[in-house]
Chains A and B, each alone.
Chain A
Amino acid sequence: MPLVFCIIFDCIMNIELFFQYVAAGVTYGFIYAIVAIGFNIIYNTTGIINFAQGEFVMLGSMTAITLNAFMPLSLAIVLSVLITMLVGAVMEILFFRWLESPSVLRMIIITIGLSIIIREIALAIWGENVRALPYFTGNEVSSVSFAGVHISPQVLWVVGICSVMVVGLQVFFKYFRYGRQMRACAANREVARLCGINTKNMVTLSFVLSAGIGALAGCVVSPITYSQYNMGVPLAIKGFTVAILGGLGNSMAAVAGGLLLGILESFSVWVMPSAYKDAIAISIMLLILFFRPAGLFGRKEEFSLKEF
C-alpha cells in the first residue's frame, strides 16, 4: 500500500510527468488495440489466431520509412499500407486458401512459421537498425498544450487516425455489402456460403483488412515508438492479451483493453525495472486465460459457444 501512496504522491508533485506517461500509454494502447482488432477480424472469419499479426505493423512502418526517402510522407504511408495489404492477401492465398479443414494446431504452426519468415526477411532487408518515420507535424520537441499540459502532436495523430480506423471498421461491417458478408461469414460460414457469399474471398479480405489497419497503425506510432525488424512478436502477444481482455471478436472492447494495458505498462516503469515491462502484459494474459477466458467484457456463454 505505501508504494501506491508514493506513486500517487509522485503524480501530484509531477502532474506534467503524469500526463506524459498517460500520453505514452495511450499511444501504445492504440497500437495494441489495432493489433487486437486485426486478430479479431481474421479470427471471426476463419477461427485462426494469426500469430503473424504483429509482423503487419512492422512491415507497414518499415516499408514507409524506406519509401519516405524517395517520396513525400503521406504518399509513402499510403503506398506502404497498400503493399502490406498485398502481403496479407498473398499470405492468405498461398498458405491458407487451399487447405481443407486443417486442424487448429496446424494453423497455429503455419502462422508462427510465417511470422518467423517475415521477420527474417525484414532482417535481411533492413538489418537490426532501429528506425523511425519523421513526426507528421512538427518534430520531437514540438508540443500542443491543453490546460497547461504539453502533449506531442504525434499523440494526437495516433489518437485521431486510430479512432477513425475503429469507427470506419464499424461502419464498414454494418453498412457495406462486403462488411456485412464478412459478418455473415463470422456468424456461420456454412450458411453464408449457401446464401451465395464467396466465403473464400471474404477470408482473403479479412487478411487484407487486418494487414492494412496494422500497417497504418504502425506508421502512425513509428515516430514515437520507433520501428525494428523484431517488433512483431511482442506486439502480437500484447495485441492478443488485449483481444482476450475484451473477449475475442469484440472490437470496441479491444480499444478499452488496449488503452488499459498501454497505460498500465507505461506506469509500471515507476515500480519495476523496465526490462520486466513485457511481463505485465503476459501476466495479465495468463490471469485472464486462467480465470476469465471470456474476457473482462465478454460473456461466458458466448465463449462456450465458440468451438475451441
Chain B
Amino acid sequence: MRKGYLQIGILCLVLVLIDLVSASFGKTYYLTQLTMSLYYSLVVLGLVLLMGYAGQISLGHAGFFAIGGYTTAVLSTYNLMKYKDAAVVKMFSKAGLLNLREDLYGAEILSFHPWVGIVLSLAIAAAVAYIIGIPVLKLKGHYLAMATLGFGIIVYRIVLGTPLFGEADGVSDVPPFNILPGLSISGEMDERRINYYIASFFVVVMVYILINLINSRVGRALKAIHGAEDAAESAGVDTANYKLKVFILSAIVAALAGAFLTHFNGGIGPSEASVMKSVRYVAIVAAGGMASVWGGLTMAMLLNFLSLRGYFGSYDDAVFGAVLIVIMLFAPEGILRINPLKILRMSIKKS
C-alpha cells in the first residue's frame, strides 16, 4: 500500500470512533465544535501546503475564509423581493438560481440559492488570490508577511465598515444549504451527526489530495522552491507559477471552509476575518511542524476544539501567541517531531 493511504484509513476510523464514542457517552453536542474544528482544519491544511511545502508565509488567510463566508452569507440572505419584477432578477429566477423561503415571521425572502453562493465564494476567492498573488508572491521574508497581513487587514476593514456585510454584527440568519434532499449543511440538532460526517468527508478528501500532491512531481517542485528557489528555477521549475497556483489552491480551500461553516453556523461575523484568526492558523501550522499534513491536522483539531469549548477562557488569543513563541523557540520542527530521547542525549552530551 502506498505511503499515507494507511494513515488515511486510520483517520477515517478515528473520525467514526469519535462520533461513536461521543454518541455512547451522550455527548453528541461535542460534534458541533468538532465539525467547526474540521472546517478550520481545512484552512490549516491549505496553509500546510503553502507554508510548509512551498515555503510562502501568509498572514492573511482569514481574509480568504471571510471572502468565502461573507459571499455566500450575503447572497443567500439578501432579499431580492423588492426587485422581483426587475428583468435581471426574473432572469436569475428562470435560471433556477433563486430560492424563495419564509422567515420566522412569515415574510417572503427571495435570495440566491446557496449553491450560487458557494460557487461564487470559491470563484471570488480564486480571483482575489490570483490578482493579489501575482505581485505579493514576488516578495520574500518580512515583505511577504507584511503584504499578506495588509491584505488580511483590508478584508477585515471592509467587512467591518460596510453596511452590506453587517459591520460589527456580521451577517446572521444564513439559511441551511440543502446539498441533496435530506442532506443539508445546518446547525440543526438532528442534522448534527450528518454534518459532522460531511465536514469529515471534506477533510479526508483534502488529506488525500494533499498526500498525493506532496508525493508528486509538483510536490517535489514545491519543496525545491522552499529549499532553494534559485536552484529550482535553474532546474526548470516555473517558481512564480507554482507559488501562485498553491496560493490560489489554499485560498479556495479556505473560502470553501468559510462558506460551509457559515451555513453550518447560520452566520458569520467580522472576527472571522481578523488578523488574530490569520495568526492563529499560522500558529497551528507551526505547531504541527510546518511541512506536516498529519501534524497540522492534529494540532488544528486539538487547539480549535479546546478553544471552541472555551478551555482557554479569556486567554484564548494569548494561548495561540504562546504556542507560536514556544514552538518557534524550542521546536521549530513542530510538537509532534519532538524526540525526547534525542533531547536527553543532547543534554547529556552538553554536560
Query: Which A residues are closer than 8 A to B by beta carbons?
Result: 49, 51, 95, 99, 102-106, 108-110, 112-117, 119-121, 124, 233, 237, 240, 244, 273, 275-276, 278-279, 282-283, 285-286, 289-290, 293, 308
Q: A113-B325, A308-B141 are in contact. Are A278 and B157 (CB under 8 A)?
A: yes
Does B145 belong to the interface (CB within 8 Å)? yes
CA distance A276 to B274 in the complex (A): 15
Q: A116-B317, A120-B318, A286-B150 are in contact. Are A308 and B143 (CB under 8 A)?
A: yes
Does B14 belong to the interface (CB within 8 Å)? no
CA distance A105 to B324 in the complex (A): 12
Residues of B within 8 A of A102 (CB): 328, 332
A108 contacts B279, CB within 8 Å?
Answer: no
Does B154 belong to the interface (CB within 8 Å)? yes
B332 contacts A108, CB within 8 Å?
Answer: no
Residue of A nearest to B315 (CB): A120
Q: A237-B150, A279-B157, A282-B154 are in contact. Are A110 and B142 (CB under 8 A)?
A: no
B151 contacts A286, CB within 8 Å?
Answer: yes
B150 contacts A282, CB within 8 Å?
Answer: yes
Does B47 belong to the interface (CB within 8 Å)? no
Does B146 belong to the interface (CB within 8 Å)? yes
B324 contacts A293, CB within 8 Å?
Answer: no
B150 contacts A109, CB within 8 Å?
Answer: no
B321 contacts A113, CB within 8 Å?
Answer: yes
CA distance A120 to B140 in the complex (A): 29
Beyond A95-B329, A110-B324, A308-B141, 18 extra complex contacts between A and B, CB < 8 Å: A102-B332, A103-B332, A104-B141, A108-B141, A108-B145, A109-B283, A112-B279, A116-B320, A116-B321, A117-B325, A276-B157, A279-B153, A286-B147, A286-B150, A289-B135, A289-B136, A289-B143, A308-B140
Residues of B within 8 A of A49 (CB): 142, 145-146
Distance in Å from the Cβ of B143 to the closest Cβ of chain A? 6
Which of A102, A124, A275 has the most chain B CB atoms closer than 10 A to its own CB? A275
Residue of B nearest to A39 (CB): B142
Interface on chain A toward B: helix, strand, loop, or mixed SS? helix
Q: A237-B150, A286-B150 are in contact. Are A116 and B279 (CB under 8 A)?
A: yes
CA distance A283 to B276 in the complex (A): 20
Within 8 Å by CB of B147, from A117, A273, A289, lies A289
Residue of B nearest to A248 (CB): B142
CA distance A276 to B159 in the complex (A): 10
Residues of B within 8 A of A279 (CB): 153-154, 157-158
- What 1/0 flags go to B128-166 for Cβ under 8 Å of A? 000000011011111101110111011001101100000
B321 contacts A283, CB within 8 Å?
Answer: no
B320 contacts A237, CB within 8 Å?
Answer: no
Does B183 belong to the interface (CB within 8 Å)? no
Query: Which B residues are closer than 8 A to A by beta carbons?
Result: 55, 57, 59, 135-136, 138-143, 145-147, 149-151, 153-154, 157-158, 160-161, 275-276, 279, 282-283, 286, 314-315, 317-318, 320-325, 328-329, 332
User: What are 18 A-B interface contacts by the 8 Å CB criterion?
Assistant: A95-B329, A104-B141, A105-B55, A106-B328, A113-B283, A113-B322, A116-B318, A116-B320, A117-B322, A120-B317, A124-B314, A244-B143, A279-B154, A282-B150, A285-B146, A286-B147, A289-B136, A289-B143
A110 contacts B329, CB within 8 Å?
Answer: yes
A283 contacts B154, CB within 8 Å?
Answer: yes
CA distance A276 to B275 in the complex (A): 16
Q: What are the 7 closest A-B residue pairs judged by CB atoms, nearest first?
A: A116-B321, A275-B161, A113-B324, A113-B325, A120-B318, A290-B135, A49-B142
A116 contacts B276, CB within 8 Å?
Answer: yes
Which of B149, B154, B320, B322 has the most chain A CB atoms closer than 10 A to its own CB? B149
Residues of A within 8 A of B147 (CB): 285-286, 289
A116 contacts B142, CB within 8 Å?
Answer: no
Residues of B within 8 A of A106 (CB): 328, 332
Within 8 Å by CB of A109, from B55, B138, B151, B286, lies B286
Within 8 Å by CB of A240, from B146, B151, B161, lies B146
CA distance A279 to B276 in the complex (A): 18
A108 contacts B142, CB within 8 Å?
Answer: yes
Residue of B nearest to A104 (CB): B141
B150 contacts A285, CB within 8 Å?
Answer: yes
B321 contacts A120, CB within 8 Å?
Answer: yes
A282 contacts B153, CB within 8 Å?
Answer: yes
